[in-house]
Amino acid sequence: MSSTCLALVTGAIKGLGFAIVRDLCWRFPGDVVLTAQDEVRGRTAVQQLQANGLSPHFHQLDITDLQSIRALRDFLHKEYGGLNVLVNNAGMPSRVSGWDLAGCVLGGGYSHCEGSQAGRGGARLQPEPPLWDLEPPP
């Protein structure tokens, strides 16, 4: 598990999400993960940023797919032990709220990033179904 700080941006293949990833790559003292529902478009966005000397990472995320959310959660816990910054830019269907996604991804909290104001063990959220049953991995 890495002790590197981590920022994750959902819905980041174009527009505001893409600009946020770009600016985080310039300024954030850690890794930046660009997420997108479409893997091909996500990897293309990462390649565009890499062509400009930046080093974002990619992880597929479909915010309406429980397995996709769980895969991201497991990746974050395994590779980083949690998450320091979440920019929830993905378009949300009316049946899924941003709080659901944040609660499921963050689960038991997030790790402290040196120099940030983020503390340990962020607020436990009570997401609405269908995502309510997600817990941090064992």
Query: pTM of the full predicted structure?
Result: 0.69
Whether 67 contacts 131, CB under 8 Å: no
Specify if 29 maps to a domain: yes
**In which domain, by residue range, is 94 found?**
6-106
Specify if 83 maps to a domain: yes
How many domains does one find in the chain? 1
Residue 98 to residue 109: CA distance in whole angstroms: 16
Specify if 72 maps to a domain: yes
What pLDDT sits at residue 12? 92
What pLDDT sits at residue 61? 93
Instruction: Check whether 79 has a pLDDT greater than 70.
Output: yes
What pLDDT sits at residue 1? 67
Residue 9 to residue 4: CA distance in whole angstroms: 16
Specify if 122 maps to a domain: no
The structure tokens listed for 22 are 């770009």
Specify if 33 maps to a domain: yes
Instruction: Check whether 85 has a pLDDT greater than 50.
Output: yes
Instruction: Give the pLDDT mean for 73-102.
Output: 74
Angle between the N-to-C axes of helices 98-106 and 66-79, in degrees from 0 to 180, rounded to the nearest 10: 40
CATH number at residue 96: 3.40.50.720
